[in-house]
Structure 1
């Protein structure tokens, strides 16, 4: 029987922002989760080492670490050890994420306006689903090692565990994940947001430097992720073949991506402008900050650059929307096979690329409005004309079938 913590009042529960996930700079332990006393949480450290051994990227380690930090903060707030957690704690944690939402962080300039522990906006379904998956895997790892609870507090849905996998699967449809967690929320299918051409032109016109114009032109023509394009080196640019070499985010593979000619024009203007300031070398980063001291451009700096230009243009588009925009433009070209688009975007599955065949919202609105206008025009043409003088109305009714009796 499931133990129910009837005395736990989630409405009054405050989860303080204590502990942290520290970036160490050590390649053997890129991230370390520390408790409120400043000591490393060893069960998490062992789990992250296992992920690293499975060739997971540092970005994955950080993502898993943040989910585990959120769980540990909840356990610290209710006073429950991690290895004594039951389904009751897992259930209340999922309810807390669903209802209470993110603890509001105090602004570093106004630390007294939002004390730690106050409630902010709710967690998105995708965040809650990712958290449930990470925690279930964390406890599965310790269950196999014999270092955690004997029952995973984040179980699979019983209806999905029973019977043969894909027993009633339609062979004409793709296989879906049968290992759905009991507390995993339903994540709505989202259509990737692209930037309409007029809005993109407004943003591009407000970019302040050749570097920024070159970056945006490469983003919108290659479809590369933000971090991937920033991985390009000076030796990875081939203007003659219109190719730029990037390192893929997930696999770490090196891939040449074709780009538009205007992207290389803006890049050359940026290189001429910074020619005497940047260090030379084929392995040197291609993108640098414009303010001194010069440093390689980071993802957050590039994101903020595009955000400022978007605010000036009255747009809320994000840097990642440029990848979606490029994907939509390529997918809509009838002369470009979808498998080529898949290769350029770096998708492992063609089904991922197929989401860009979904019509753009603005195109759907334009076509439906045109449909309504056509209906009005056709209705106006169906109006019975007034007969000329000399024709008997009853004769016309018989001829055109308009008699009602």
Structure 2
């Protein structure tokens, strides 16, 4: 794959002779015209590159690929290992669980979400060519099974969860449902104390108080910061709309300290970047650089928290506040559907463990609340038959 630098086609997929694959280029043009972002084009191009490499290995042209090739590709993604990367000597083994956070590191094989995404990309690629050119006649990856597929959520009530397909589509991996991993308050305090400069403290303070995505906060411009109103403007990932998010007072204090340190060292202006590297030549801070800074703090603690965990933590903090409605949290997080925000209402494993341990302690100390007596008017023999002997209270008759 090649990055072109052309805004009309940022990425190209090339064959073994260095020639652009026209079918993929046409599909990416279609996505760009349909207002897809450059990041989406890059993601789709990589998935199609893997598909075309697979077809080249089995010597099947893309326009005659069928269900057998789809099956073999799904099996290949399931069993093959990801390309090896250079890792530090002290890096944890793939798939191991961090003792501090309880989070598993990335495994050697492709995750189910990655395989689901690859299937969705290839299916949309074939559907585009079927609609535009009438060929190929068969999509190797058919749609989900069920009579109601076409209009499953046509009249969806936004206050109700989306209905799922009755059965998974052919060769579609099962959808994992991991619980959002938030950072406990004590662990966050340790993480914040491990930061070494005011820029990093300001950045993390904004993450934990706004719930913005990593890329959204890193893309903030200087003119979108309004300290007197405690607002910071981010461009949303999906809609790419500008939204003002409220942030904590501490975040703006750390930001002011950071801005004093870089005064007269970086360009100023409403359209200039807010976050910069610390070393010369000064450049706008990228996601990879911010992730490396975060990993340094992780190394001090022996943890493997991620920048996205800060978004989960901010969401959990807001959901726990009784004065904030779920609609408020949805607006701050930028979720299109409130059902996505409802995920954060479920208790975390740490919270459940703490509640159950407290329950056992109350039982041990004899401070457990006795069950409420039944309402008057019920006959004791009926209650005993339903709930066992000793259930009927003195008020029953």
Q: TM-score range by the shorter chain?
A: 0.7 to 0.9
Shift of 1:215: 0.4
Counterparts of 1:314 and 1:343 in 2: how far apart (Å)?
A: 34
Q: What is the match of residue 92 of structure 2?
A: none
Q: What is the match of residue 65 of structure 2?
A: 85
Q: What is the match of residue 144 of structure 1?
A: 131
Structure 1: which 5+ residue stretches go unaligned? Answer: 1-20, 111-119, 383-400
Q: What is the match of residue 68 of structure 1?
A: 48
Instruction: Kindly indicate whether the alpha-carbon contact (under 8 Å) linking 2:127 and 2:139 is maintained by their aligned counterparts in 1.
Output: yes
Counterparts of 1:350 and 1:22 in 2: how far apart (Å)?
A: 38
Q: Does 1:190 align with 2:169?
A: no
Instruction: Describe the SS at the equivalent of 2:229.
Output: coil
Are residues 184 and 161 of structure 1, via their aligned partners in 2, closer, same or farther at CA, if it must alter by over 3 Å?
farther
- Superposition map of 1:3-402 within 5 A: 21-102=1-82, 104-105=83-84, 107=86, 121-146=108-133, 148-157=135-144, 159-161=145-147, 165-166=151-152, 174-178=161-165, 180-378=168-366
Are residues 273 and 173 of structure 1, via their aligned partners in 2, closer, same or farther at CA, if it must alter by over 3 Å?
closer
Counterparts of 1:282 and 1:170 in 2: how far apart (Å)?
A: 41
Instruction: Describe the SS at the equivalent of 2:366.
Output: helix
Instruction: Kindly indicate whether the alpha-carbon contact (under 8 Å) linking 1:199 and 1:315 is maintained by their aligned counterparts in 2.
Output: no
Shift of 1:379: 10
Structure 2: which 5+ residue stretches go unaligned? Answer: 90-106, 371-389, 391-397
Shift of 1:31: 1.1
Aligned residues: 351
Are residues 121 and 368 of structure 1, via their aligned partners in 2, closer, same or farther at CA, if it must alter by over 3 Å?
same
Counterparts of 2:24 and 2:297 in 1: how far apart (Å)?
A: 40
Instruction: Kindly indicate whether the alpha-carbon contact (under 8 Å) linking 1:210 and 1:267 is maintained by their aligned counterparts in 2.
Output: yes
Render the CA deviation track for 1:31-53: whole Å, top value 9, x for unaligned. 11122322211111110110111
Instruction: Kindly indicate whether the alpha-carbon contact (under 8 Å) linking 2:123 and 2:142 is maintained by their aligned counterparts in 1.
Output: yes
Render the CA deviation track for 1:124-162: whole Å, top value 9, x for unaligned. 1111111111111111111112264210011124x4247
Counterparts of 1:322 and 1:127 in 2: how far apart (Å)?
A: 23
Instruction: Kindly indicate whether the alpha-carbon contact (under 8 Å) linking 1:243 and 1:259 is maintained by their aligned counterparts in 2.
Output: yes
Larger radius of gyration: 1
Counterparts of 1:144 and 1:163 in 2: how far apart (Å)?
A: 19
Are residues 314 and 128 of structure 1, via their aligned partners in 2, closer, same or farther at CA, if it must alter by over 3 Å?
same
Instruction: Describe the SS at the equivalent of 1:246.
Output: strand
Instruction: Describe the SS at the equivalent of 1:191.
Output: coil
Instruction: Describe the SS at the equivalent of 2:280.
Output: coil
Render the CA deviation track for 1:351-370: whole Å, top value 9, x for unaligned. 01110101122111101111
Instruction: Describe the SS at the equivalent of 1:240.
Output: helix
Instruction: Kindly indicate whether the alpha-carbon contact (under 8 Å) linking 1:133 and 1:181 is maintained by their aligned counterparts in 2.
Output: no
Instruction: Kindly indicate whether the alpha-carbon contact (under 8 Å) linking 2:191 and 2:301 is maintained by their aligned counterparts in 1.
Output: yes
Are residues 314 and 164 of structure 1, via their aligned partners in 2, closer, same or farther at CA, if it must alter by over 3 Å?
closer
Counterparts of 1:327 and 1:163 in 2: how far apart (Å)?
A: 33
Instruction: Kindly indicate whether the alpha-carbon contact (under 8 Å) linking 2:160 and 2:339 is maintained by their aligned counterparts in 1.
Output: no
